[in-house]
Amino acid sequence: MPEHWLSFVYQYVVGGFFFFFIIFAAIRTKVLVLQSKEGKRTFIMLIGGFLYFFIGHALWIYFVTK
């Protein structure tokens, strides 16, 4: 794996673990209630934001190193 991808992998594996752990904890403690419309919207926005930055960061690295 080229060096420029190592920080990407680290950021989204380690950071992703904490991100999804915190979401799981919020759901388990009923801070984030997925049965409500607002809870579903918040959950979708959190996952969508994560994917937006993940894809944007991957494309940025890909095109800069191409």
CA pair distance 55, 57, nearest whole angstrom? 5
The residues near 23 (Cβ < 8 Å, ≥ 6 apart) are 32, 43, 46
The encoded tokens of residue 45 equal 């926005």
- Band of pLDDT at residue 2, cut at 50, 70 and 90: confident
- Flag whether pLDDT at 3 surpasses 90: no
Report the chain's mean pLDDT, rounded to a whole number.
95
- What's the domain range around 47? 3-65
Q: What's residue 14's pLDDT?
A: 95
Tens of pLDDT, residue by residue over 35-52, are: 999 999 999 999 999 999
Instruction: Provide the domain count of the chain.
Output: 1
CA pair distance 35, 58, nearest whole angstrom? 33
CB 29 within 8 A of CB 60: no
